[in-house]
Amino acid sequence: MATSLRAAADGTPPPAPPSSPTRRSTPPPPSGWRSRFYRWDLRLSPYAFVSPFFLTFAAFGLFPLLYTGWLSLHRVELGGDAEWKGLDNYANLADSEFFWNALANTFTIGVISTVPQLLMALGLAHLLNYKLRGRGFFRVAVLAPYATSIAAATLVFAQLFNTDYGLINTVLGWVGFDPVDWESSKWPSQIAISTIVIWRWTGYNALIYLAAMQAVPQDLYEAAALDGASRWRQFVSVTIPSIRPTILFTIIVSTIGATQLFGEPMIFGGSLGVSGGSGNQFQTLSLLMYEKGWVTGALGQASAIAWVMLLLLLLIGAVRMLFARANRKKLGA
Amino acid sequence: MTHTTLDRKRRFGRPAAGRQHHAGPLTYVLLGLAALVSLFPLYWNLVAASHSGERVVEAPAPLLPGPRLFDNLTFAWNQVDMGEALINTTVVAGLVAVSTVLFSTLAGFAFAKLPFRGRNAMLALVVATMTIPPQLSVIPLYRIITDLGWVDQLQSVVLPSLVAAFGVFFMRQYLIEALPVELVEAARMDGAHSLRIIWHVVFPVARPAMAVLGMLVFVQAWNDFFWPFIALTPDGNPTLQVALAGLGAGNHTVDQAVVLTGALISTLPLLLVFAVLGKHIVGGITSGAVKS
């Protein structure tokens, strides 16, 4: 998932280079049909080249997006006709304890999976940035979880976290802890699900940080060292500020990913996955949407949940922009 | 964008020297630990797939490989049809990767090097689409594929993924630097039309980035879960991830060893790719990150 989002580092497209050179050097057109073909080719082929993306997006992105909005204002059953309901679906959500539960779960699982993940990735990147023997091995090793699918990773971790025979409780037993109920207790199950997310994405984020760290100019460190800064001090005062845009970017991508969390809780819960466990203790917004749409068959309600997710992401984006603006003011730029 | 010359040199593969501190023993211990934590679940997957179903769910869980790997593989392959799912996944991921790379290169070239009206606005739109969650389109998409009778048909998974905003952006970033505009102009002076330029100038220059993008998209399509899970059913024409979800939910079997053998089958091909091309993939991921 994150690959598809990674490039949106700062949300804004970088400025395009001036477009004049190609035009300026266009040779004087020859005559007849060739020249006409040539002119049409110059003018139209850029549109032809970008059209596959826009056609695909229009058909499978934009149209469904708007249609979902329309559906969210209706009462629709699977395979049935739509009946106008106005904002009823949204009002029902506001009244539904399942919705607030799913929203809270999405938030808590998001926080306990994103914060440790990014902190550990930062530390890992710092370690990988040393001059190392076996550097290639370590990099590929920490990236290996990224090659594992959500389904495969979750099935393995569901076994490791099993309350009765799982390795994690066995190891906890060696250290003298009682077995933890990783499946039906609220916090343990949310921690278990977050562990899967953390395991799959930490190495990936570490490599992104590593790339940013390697672009930090060497003389900044030399100057800091001359001033007597320790390694730790250099990390805090030079490395972290220098890679701040990258950190901000990974926070955004992880937040978007956390908002959409679906596969891990779904599969972790086994036959109870759709409801997020016996007491909905790890039902996320995506799971609730799926349950409403495909189990209950209330597509209008499911559509309303989807739009709430979009509104949440827009809200996060707005908060982010406010932060960015405040930062710029502080720097006096 | 600010470290352009630096990036060019170390773009794919070769890591540049950052800080030249040598690692101490503690660094190796911590990194060893991180590698262990990263690799252990994969190792344990292999262990679990080599035991009987009864042994896997017995405390304490096994830590060393057992004797039944081949039996489990045969069973998962024949009885649960992981073989069919493997073929489906390969077809889907292959088609999605090829088409995404092709269309992204075309669009990336246009955005990077061709002047046209509305280019900046269109590029902004491309980037903006990256933040739209897939949840927003699945319900209408599901209605559409139901109406078309495409439930359980692989095209319902392939078509929405024919090209991705990320790919367009990725190729644009690469071509801005890698493709000198003089090359394009020279070809035009020689009377080459756009398709010839694409074939003889753009593709050769873009090949390294196309390879990296192809791998990233292939991995992503291989592991995609949310939409395939809705569009395909475990009993119809599943991809590996859908088949696995079905196994895990106990539709076919509750034999955990077989379930984990399925997980192993789904993971192994990509792990092999990573083992062989690991360095290039690492280079690709980091280059994409620095660029953005």
User: By the CB < 8 Å criterion, does B41 face chain A?
Assistant: yes
Most A CBs within 10 Å: which of B11, B139, B177, B217, as the mutation test of the A interface?
B139
A231: chain B residues, CB-CB within 8 Å: 21
Task: Give residue B15's pLDDT.
Answer: 41
Residue A146 near residue B286, CB atoms below 8 Å = no
> Over the stretch B9-32, which tens digit does the pLDDT of each residue have?
444 443 444 445 788 889 999 999
Which pair of structure tokens corresponds to residue B49? 């797939």
Chain A CB within 8 Å of residue B252 CB: no
**What is the CA A173 to chain-centroid distance, rounded?**
35
Would you say B202 and B179 are in contact if contact means Cβ atoms under 8 Å apart?
yes
Give chain B's radius of gyration (CA, Å).
23
What is the rounded CA–CA span in Å between residue B130 and residue B164?
8
Query: Angle CA(A100)–CA(A104)–CA(A107) in degrees, nearest 5?
Result: 140
CB neighbour class for A22 (10 Å; exposed up to 12, middle 13-18, buried from 19): middle
Q: What does the pLDDT read at residue A30? A: 57
Mean pLDDT across A195-211: 94
Nearest to A289 by CA among A99, A108, A105: A99
Question: Within 10 Å of residue A136's Cβ, how many Cβ atoms?
Answer: 12
Supply B269's token pair.
């091909």
Spatial neighbors of B140 by CB under 8 A, at least 6 apart, are A63, A64, A67, A68, A71
Phi-psi category of residue B141: left, alpha or beta, with phi > 0 → left and psi -120 to 50 → alpha: alpha
Token output for A223: 């100057």
Q: Are B241 and B266 in contact (CB under 8 A)?
A: yes
What is the spatial distance between Cα A269 and Cα A189, in angstroms, rounded to a whole number? Answer: 9
Q: Pick the more confident residue, A199 or B178.
A: A199
Strand partners, A75: A83
Mean pLDDT of all residues in A6-34: 50
pLDDT of residue A28: 55
Confidence of residue A193 (pLDDT cuts 50, 70, 90): very high
Closest-CA residue to A69 (of A55, A54, A90, A97): A90
Task: Please identify every stretch of chain B with a pLDDT value under 70, giving residue numbers as ranges.
Answer: 1-20, 250-253, 287-292
| Separation CA A186–CA A169 (nearest Å) | 17
pLDDT the model gives residue B119: 94
pLDDT of residue A194: 97
Of A66-70, A179-183, A250-254, B284-288, least confident by mean pLDDT is B284-288
Residue B45 pLDDT: 95
> What residues of A are in contact with residue B258 (Cβ under 8 Å)?
none
Each residue of B31-59: b (16+ CB within 10 Å) or e? beebbebbebbbebbebbbbbbbeebbee
pLDDT of residue B20: 58
Q: How many A/B residue pairs have CB atoms within 8 Å?
A: 391
Predicted confidence at residue B11, as pLDDT, reads: 42
**pLDDT exceeds 60 at position A5:** no
SS3 A131: strand
- What is the arithmetic mean of pLDDT over A238-267? 90
- Do residues A267 and A151 lie in contact, with contact meaning Cβ atoms separated by under 8 Å? yes
State yes or no: pLDDT of A26 exceeds 80: no
- The answer, for B107 touching chain A at a CB cutoff of 8 Å, is yes
Q: CA dist B101 to A52, A333, B88, B205, B225, Å?
A: 12, 39, 20, 14, 21
Helix (H, G, I), strand (E, B) or coil at A27: coil
Asked if pLDDT for residue A159 goes beyond 70, the answer is: yes
- Pinpoint the alpha helices (H) of A129-243: 135-143, 150-160, 167-174, 186-214, 218-226, 231-234, 240-242
The answer to whether residue A37 scores a pLDDT higher than 90 is: no
How big is chain A by its Cα radius of gyration, in Å? 25
pLDDT at B17: 42
A20, A65, A127, A149, best to mutate vs chain B, most B CBs in 10 Å: A149
pLDDT at res. B108: 95
Q: Which residue has the higher pLDDT, A76 or A104?
A: A104
The secondary structure of B241-282, three-state, reads: HHHHHHHHCCCCCCCHHHHHHHHHHHHHHHHHHHHHHHHHHH
Q: What are phi and psi of A243, to 5 degrees?
A: -100, 20
Q: Which range has the worst mean pLDDT, A245-249, A306-310, B130-134, B187-191?
A: B130-134
Say whether the peptide bond before residue B60 is cis (omega within 30 degrees of 0). yes
Average per-residue pLDDT for chain A: 86
Query: Hey, what long-range contacts does A288-292 have (CB within 8 A, 24 or more apart)?
Result: A288/A98, A288/A99, A288/A102, A289/B135, A290/A262, A290/A266, A290/B230
Instruction: Give the pairing of strands A83-84 and A74-75.
Output: antiparallel
Distances (CA, A) of B197 to A127, B108, B114: 45, 14, 12
CA distance, residue A112 to nearest chain B CA (Å) = 18
Q: Three-state DSSP class for A83?
A: strand
d(CA B153, CA A30): 50
Q: With beta carbons less than 8 A apart as the criterion, state whether B70 and B256 touch.
A: no
CA distance B129 to B18: 34
A20, pLDDT greater than 70: no
Query: Would you call A278 exposed, middle or buried from its count of C-beta atoms within 10 A (0-12, 13-18, 19+)?
Result: exposed
**Strands, E assignment, chain A:** 74-75, 83-84
Beta carbons within 10 angstroms of residue A276's beta carbon: 26
Residue A46 pLDDT: 93
Out of B48, B107, B185, closest to residue A53 by CB:
B107
Closest CA to A197 of A280, A108, A128, A110: A110
Closest CA to B113 of B164, B193, B184: B184
Over the stretch B246-265, which tens digit does the pLDDT of each residue have?
Answer: 887 765 557 889 999 999 99
B95 or A37, higher pLDDT: B95
The whole-number average pLDDT for the span A243-262 is 89
Out of A20, A47, A143, closest to residue B116 by CB: A47
* B288 touching A (Cβ < 8 Å): yes
Q: What is the number of alpha carbons within 13 Å of residue B143 lying toward its C-beta?
A: 21
Kindly report the pTM of this predicted structure. Answer: 0.85
* Displacement of CA B6 from its chain's centroid (Å): 27
Residue A9: which pLDDT band, with cuts at 50, 70 and 90? very low
Mutate to test the interface with B, among A148, A196, A237 (most CBs of B within 10 A): A148
Per-residue model confidence (pLDDT) at position B8: 41
Which amino acid does the sequence have at A46? P
Is A278's pLDDT higher than 60? yes
Alpha carbon of A163: minimum distance to chain B alpha carbons (Å): 10
